[in-house]
Amino acid sequence: MSDLDPVALTAELVRCPSVTPEEGGTLDVLERVLSGAGFECTRVDRNGISNLFARWGRKGANRSFGFNGHTDVVPIGNPDDWSVDPFGAEIKDGFLWGRGSTDMKSGVAAFVAAAVDFVAETPPDGAVVLTITGDEEADATDGTVALLDWMADAGEQMTLCLVGEPTSPNHMGEAMKIGRRGSMTVQFEFTGVQGHSAYPHRANNPLTAMARLMDRLASHELDQGSDHFDPSSLAIVTMDTGNPATNVIPAQCRSSVNIRFSDLHSGESVGAWLRAESAKVQEETGIQVALNIRISGESFVTPPGELSDLIGAAVEAETGHRPEMSTSGGTSDARFMKDHCPVAEFGLVGKTMHQVDEKVPVADIVQLKAIYRRILNDYFA
């Protein structure tokens, strides 16, 4: 009989300084634990990024339940701002403290502990698959994407997947994610003619074009939302000239916007709108406008059904709360898993993730393991 302590495992992972893209020893810890429990483990490293695939059960099983998570963390910032050692995994006041304790080493520890106990105590007719990456907080090009590429080549498959990211705003069991908005960042460069500010007619001021275009974009209503999504949003995040002089009209200026879009749009359709608006301003002002569009994820939704029902029933049984189905927030690796199988997300309260003095209630880690274990029980029942 197994009874793997998810709190102790979380602490062991937090003590590994895995600031992205460093592995920091986290996957060595998990591989040791999972191999010892009978999981077949494969390191799927690519371009210096460390990833781990682990499967219990027969390859190609008709039913396989998967978990996905990451062990890389964001930088700690100024260590003097922390009241604890960021990698000390100190337990005090009912919390486990440290970078990655919330996002998302506790989630990984909880689903690893649940999976190890489950296969030891009630070996299922099917497979349990874990995909754990070290490249979620950075560019995410060689993490879950690399794992999915390897799985396709190796003939590995998940039937359903649960990503263990923090999902609840305030209390355990408050929300699950059944989709995510699309995300893109767009950089604009405006090129005009430099001149003296006392003789503006001899110059062509790119700031005028930038201000006009940014106002039009920010004032435009992309949509009013859809069945599962809030209205799309556009935020101006930078406007920069780099001009220290007050009597010079600069030749160039730059700006950037970040857009989170619903399932009423695609990256291609939003990009086409941005190019059309830029072309209008270019024609009106004579200022050259160049765009660089980077799409970090398309919008998607997993329709309510088997997976959301499994999660909702397990969460309600363990917490007394039926989680709301949400698509809010930023991006996660669910945007890659959606192309492999139905995917949803459920995890801890995310209040302190990425913050100084990041911490997680010890009781929540224990409860999260119980939820994941119940999901496995119910799926293979």
CATH code of the domain covering residue 22 = 3.40.630.10
1 assigned to some structural domain: no
CA–CA separation, 160 vs 129, rounded Å?
10
Q: DSSP code of 81?
A: G
The question of whether 136 is a catalytic residue gets the answer: yes
Whether residue 253 sits in one domain with residue 110: no
Q: Do residues 228 and 301 make contact, with C-beta atoms less than 8 angstroms apart? A: yes
Nearest in space to 12 (alpha carbons), one of 108, 83, 93:
108
Strand 51-56 with 324-326, pairing: unpaired
Catalytic residue among 12, 103, 117, 136: 136
Q: Which of 238, 262, 297 is the last residue of a domain?
A: 297
Interval 282-324: pLDDT, tens? 999 999 999 999 999 999 999 999 999 999 999 999 999 999 9
Look at residue 292 and tell me if it is in a domain: yes
The answer to whether residues 280 and 198 belong to one domain is yes
* Confidence class for position 364, pLDDT limits 50, 70, 90: very high
Q: Are residues 361 and 284 part of one domain?
A: no
Q: Are residues 156 and 304 both part of a single domain?
A: yes
Last residue of some domain: 297, 319, 353?
297
Instruction: Please indicate, yes or no, if residue 124 is contained in any of the structural domains.
Output: yes
At 368, the pLDDT band (50, 70, 90 cuts) reads very high
Structure tokens at 311: 């999660």
**CATH classification at residue 271:** 3.30.70.360
Strand partners, 326: 177
- Residue tagged active-site, from 12, 23, 72, 318: 72
**Residues above pLDDT 70, as percent of the chain:** 99
Residues 266 and 315 in one domain: no
Residue 368 CA to residue 161 CA, distance in Å, equals 16
Known active-site residue 72: yes
Q: What are residue 191's DSSP bridge partners?
A: 252, 288
The residue segments making up the domain with residue 265 are 182-297
Instruction: Let me know whether 53 and 164 are in one domain.
Output: yes
Closest CA to 315 of 294, 344, 343: 344
Q: Two tokens at 330?
A: 């930023």
Q: What is the dihedral of CA 82, 83, 87, 88, to 10 degrees?
A: 170
Note whether residue 87 is domain-resident: yes
91 and 174 in a common domain: yes
What is the value of pTM for the model shown? 0.90
Q: Looking at the DSSP assignment, which residues form a beta bridge with residue 339?
A: none
Structural domain contains residue 190: yes
CA dihedral 55→58→63→65, nearest 10 degrees, is -10
Judge if 306 and 280 occupy the same domain.
no
Does 156 share its domain with 96?
A: yes
Identify the DSSP state of 129.
E
- Per residue in 2-53, pLDDT tens? 699 999 999 999 999 999 999 999 999 999 999 999 999 999 999 999 999 9
Phi-psi region of 155 (alpha: psi -120 to 50; beta: other; left: phi over 0): left
Instruction: Give 22-34 pLDDT, tens digit per residue.
Output: 999 999 999 999 9
Residue 256 pairs in a beta bridge with 187, 238
Chain centroid to CA 259: 16
Sign (positive or negative) of CA dihedral 301, 305, 311, 315: positive
Considering the domain architecture, whether residues 135 and 248 belong to the same structural domain is answered as no
| Domain identity same for 244 and 144 | no
**Are residues 20 and 120 both part of a single domain?**
yes
How many structural domains is the chain composed of?
A: 2
Q: Which residue has the tokens 């997300």?
A: 345
